């Protein structure tokens, strides 16, 4: 069997204790010509037993299940299949959001929220299809690309060579670093958990973060980063003063930007239309930072699907600032950082484990330079 382009169809395993949900997700996915559900399981124990024989491209995994729940299943699955994409399918509740963040920290690739009710089946089907199908396709494409490369070379997935950065708008001018802005999406909660807690309490600039997630998730993400970080982490709100040594996470569902309020720099939020199909959008934050801080902006684009952050990175570079990106090998999806690197806007593509150290040195050194 092949998909419409002649490629083998994407094979998916659906793991959920509800027969209704298993059937619903199967119907949504198999309505697509390039996707098949090759196996289902009602708990994690059965899923792990069937993985070896069925070798799916993507696993859709529930969190709350009897016998072996989703988190325990994911933990065991990652030991045997470290690169198999796993998409968590959980309820959009405080408990569900918290468990989803746990799953992302354990190595889940992405998540999609379950419909709150299946009464209006056609509406629920359309919503889940719009959110789940693109994630499944993206996860499968990344996995197949890496497997193809490994088969050809018998080597790990490639790390893209650093792309030469374009010259700054004002060549040779070194400016005082004034702010760090960060963009992240798919794989971002894990990446942020590796970067933010490693930044020192003495960081001389504020840090502003856009992570593509609903508000319930971004609030929990800010709380978790706060618990692990030397810096003070806030869930951003309109009018909040922007101060060095503090991290501000954009609230889900709202664009975040910086604005002047008398002598102060404060956060602004709005409900303007999504950009790059997302709100908050990194481009909005990056553009406002470039307009407000000019050459004092340091940008960082972490793992994520799509190209949000590309236009904003260009604005930062044109204002004289600099941008770093996460490298391909350590990214779950190299869409966002890859788009910036391929345009020649990145100073360097850095492995995830080294980003905090590189940024700390850059920010502390640049903060001592008088423009």
Catalytic site residues?
A: 185, 212, 308
Instruction: Return the SS3 of 348.
Output: coil
Q: What are the structure tokens assigned to 309, written together?
A: 């952050």
**Sign, Cα dihedral of 268, 227, 102, 87:** positive
Q: What are the structure tokens assigned to 132, written together?
A: 């789940």
Q: How far apart are CA 230 and CA 354, in angstroms?
A: 18
Instruction: Return the SS3 of 206.
Output: coil
CB 196 within 8 A of CB 203: no
CB 54 within 8 A of CB 10: no
Strands 297-301 and 322-326, bridge-based pairing = parallel
Q: What are the structure tokens assigned to 116, written together?
A: 């709150």
Q: How far apart are CA 256 and CA 272, in angstroms?
A: 10
């Amino acid at each position: 069997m092949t998909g419409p382009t002649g490629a083998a169809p994407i094979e998916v395993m659906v793991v959920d204790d509800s027969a209704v949900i298993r059937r619903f997700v199967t119907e949504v996915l198999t309505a697509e010509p390039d996707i098949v559900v090759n196996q289902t399981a009602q708990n994690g124990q059965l899923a792990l037993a069937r993985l070896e024989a069925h070798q799916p491209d993507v696993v859709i995994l529930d969190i709350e299940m009897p016998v072996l729940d989703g988190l325990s299943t994911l933990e065991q699955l990652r030991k045997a299949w470290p690169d198999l994409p796993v998409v968590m399918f959980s309820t959009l509740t405080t408990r569900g959001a918290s468990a989803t963040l746990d799953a992302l920290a354990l190595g889940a690739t992405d998540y999609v929220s379950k419909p709150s009710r299946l009464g209006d089946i056609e509406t629920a089907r359309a919503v889940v299809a719009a959110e789940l199908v693109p994630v499944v396709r993206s996860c499968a494409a990344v996995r197949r690309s890496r497997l193809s490369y490994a088969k050809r070379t018998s080597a790990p997935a490639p790390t893209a060579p650093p792309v030469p950065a374009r010259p700054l708008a004002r060549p040779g001018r070194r400016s005082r670093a004034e702010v760090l802005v960060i963009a992240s999406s798919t794989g971002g909660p894990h990446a942020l958990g590796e970067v933010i807690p490693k930044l020192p309490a003495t960081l001389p600039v504020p840090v502003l973060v856009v992570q593509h997630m609903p508000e319930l998730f971004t609030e929990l993400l800010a709380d978790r980063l706060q618990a692990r970080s030397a810096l003070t982490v806030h869930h951003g709100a309109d009018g909040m003063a922007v101060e060095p040594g503090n991290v501000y996470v954009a609230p889900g569902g709202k664009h975040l930007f910086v604005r002047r309020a008398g002598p102060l720099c404060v956060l602004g939020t709005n409900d303007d239309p999504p950009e790059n199909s997302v709100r908050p959008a990194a481009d909005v934050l990056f553009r406002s930072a470039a307009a407000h801080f000019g050459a004092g902006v340091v940008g960082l684009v972490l793992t994520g699907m799509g190209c949000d952050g590309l236009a904003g990175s260009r604005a930062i570079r044109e204002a004289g600032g600099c941008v770093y990106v996460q490298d391909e090998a350590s990214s779950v999806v190299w869409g966002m950082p890859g788009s910036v690197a391929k345009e020649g806007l990145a100073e360097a593509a850095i492995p995830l484990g080294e980003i905090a150290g590189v940024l700390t040195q850059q920010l502390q050194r640049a903060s001592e330079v008088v423009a």
